[in-house]
Structure 1
């Protein structure tokens, strides 16, 4: 087994690194890593329906889609991530518990009453400290999980507070659970760096292997994958399942309701309703927005081609765009 402590805190790089290790290596792998503040969404989720768009934008928080299913999670440097990549029969794909066992063993050594709970969580006294997810490729299983050590629970809650009533879709929804930090349950305080060392040493002791560091060639290949996939709007937002979106707001110029269908992040059709006034027919804007990304800058760019006041008297472009999120 290869043991990797990946010290990058770039979420685009780190998610790309997992795919690279899964698909380009033959060895089994255990990796520990952390991300800077970011939202990591499951493969089958609607990105916009999982986040507070305003909070995420205001705080420049990256939203990155991972390979595995499951729900959205907030990462920061107080959250430690672990990844196992193993070669085995994929009929064992649903066995989450065995991958969490070494983590639980470390926590119990620290006198923390941790246990595997439900389908894919680790809890302490009924509160979640770890969510886990899996993905398979050929005969390899990738299992990864979070470990809330000293994460900002406030930021976690704020970033993952979607206005879900706006969306109607079949995407996998995240389930809100009570969470806690591991650090709050330690009898003798340790740093997250010490915690990282404890986990790495424990897992190393279970299976023979060697420490591995990314080579310049590895880094080059991972960065290529970031450029082509993990750093792109097409992957992180365009991969969202088809959804219907509805929102209504009251502006000084009147009330406007928007209804639209979106597929692969692209607006298929849109309809406006409300008691607003305009000297031109709003169907012209509806046609203009077909084929545009459901993304703020792209919608603004499309609307910049017309005089918004001709269609929505007393309503600005920024006000109208806010209706879409």
Structure 2
């Protein structure tokens, strides 16, 4: 079955990171066909996940001195350093398309099979590892994510041609340099690249052609196409202004302006932060009156699809007492069910356990 291929080439960081949202809007409205985008950032930048707190994960001052833009994406995951040594693939299809699986795990398995085939065509023995990893002898060689944009489904990822381990660690906020050194060491142990595997980087067109052939293995024929006027308009009028806004970049902070100090405010009112390690990290920050939740923010590098379910969980928990475990668990479960949401890297029970740690912290 034919899908449109948009090869944008080298583009500015915002277009590389966000243009697919304009395509998703067009696909969702039925005015653009199912599409795969290839692009590369023309200059370096830092990208954080939709559920992360900027100041907690990125060394903002360092990034400013280096001229790195910081962009909050609309998908989950962690903070990453991105540059022109990564070829992005962005897959956008209608929810009801016969080649778009309805379940998130099947969605990853289906589309990442094409990327695995591409790597193998290049001579790299890549393997798919559920839920959303592509690995070579246990080392990660692609960062991937997924989301829903109105009636469109998105799967994104990258071909890591080369990787700057030192800079990838330098842009992150860490407790001290000893921790940063350990981070670099761990990255070198668990992340690989095309250059590392082959000793060289093949020509870019060869990598793109391998990807095109990889999609053929799952029944998708990529046909070169053009960006539509509607996509250009969506990007210029909706997508780009949102991603460049202070409100979006600092979304969690601006929604919860009082939550970022661990202090006793007055009487029984306390601000508490806890961290819970599921498959991914969950951070919960709450203002409590005794055990009653007055305000709460849930962050981390997990994926929530759609991402808006996190706001629904926060709203459902506001006013609940941590002493009433059944009410807390039910609020979380109902919010997820009502959003028809899927979590990757965390489960509803993980969210519950993270929230319950607030009670331990204040007592």
Find the counterpart in structure 2 of residue 76 from structure 1: 83
Find the counterpart in structure 1 of residue 24 from structure 2: 22
Matches within 5 A, 1:1-12: 1-12=3-14
Shift of 1:161: 4.0
The verdict on how the C-alpha distance between 1:75 and 1:146 changes in structure 2, with shifts beyond 3 A counting, is same
Shift of 1:4: 0.8
Helix, strand or coil: the match of 1:230?
helix
Find the counterpart in structure 2 of residue 50 from structure 1: 57
**Contact 1:17/1:222 (8 A) holds in 2:** yes
**Contact 1:16/1:225 (8 A) holds in 2:** no
**Contact 1:13/1:226 (8 A) holds in 2:** no
> Structure 2 regions of 5+ residues with no counterpart?
177-185, 263-270, 274-286, 288-363
Helix, strand or coil: the match of 1:214?
coil
> Structure 1 regions of 5+ residues with no counterpart?
165-175, 247-259, 263-268, 270-325
Instruction: Please give the root-mean-square deviation of Cα atoms over the aligned residues, in Å.
Output: 3.1
Q: Matches of 1:116 and 1:204 in 2, distance apart?
A: 17
**Contact 2:37/2:90 (8 A) holds in 1:** yes
Find the counterpart in structure 1 of residue 249 from structure 2: 236
Q: Matches of 1:220 and 1:63 in 2, distance apart?
A: 23
The verdict on how the C-alpha distance between 1:244 and 1:64 changes in structure 2, with shifts beyond 3 A counting, is same
Q: Matches of 1:130 and 1:136 in 2, distance apart?
A: 20
Find the counterpart in structure 2 of residue 92 from structure 1: 103
Helix, strand or coil: the match of 1:94?
helix
Matches within 5 A, 1:168-247: 178-186=190-198, 189-203=201-215, 206-215=219-228, 218-240=231-253, 242=256, 243-245=259-261
TM-score (norm 1): 0.65
Find the counterpart in structure 1 of residue 321 from structure 2: none
Find the counterpart in structure 1 of residue 149 from structure 2: 137
Helix, strand or coil: the match of 1:61?
coil
Q: Deviations over 1:197-244 (max 9, x none)?
A: 321344267423531122455334312235521111211123457442
TM-score (norm 2): 0.59
Q: Matches of 1:118 and 1:94 in 2, distance apart?
A: 7
Q: Does 1:67 align with 2:80?
A: no
Structure number with bigger Rg: 1
In proportion to residue count, which structure has more helix? Answer: 2
Helix, strand or coil: the match of 1:151?
coil
**Contact 2:39/2:89 (8 A) holds in 1:** yes
Find the counterpart in structure 2 of residue 13 from structure 1: 15
The verdict on how the C-alpha distance between 1:68 and 1:189 changes in structure 2, with shifts beyond 3 A counting, is closer
The verdict on how the C-alpha distance between 1:102 and 1:10 changes in structure 2, with shifts beyond 3 A counting, is same
Q: Deviations over 1:26-85 (max 9, x none)?
A: 321111111221111111111121212232122111111111112222210001111111
The verdict on how the C-alpha distance between 1:145 and 1:245 changes in structure 2, with shifts beyond 3 A counting, is farther
Helix, strand or coil: the match of 2:38?
strand
**Alignment size in residue pairs:** 242
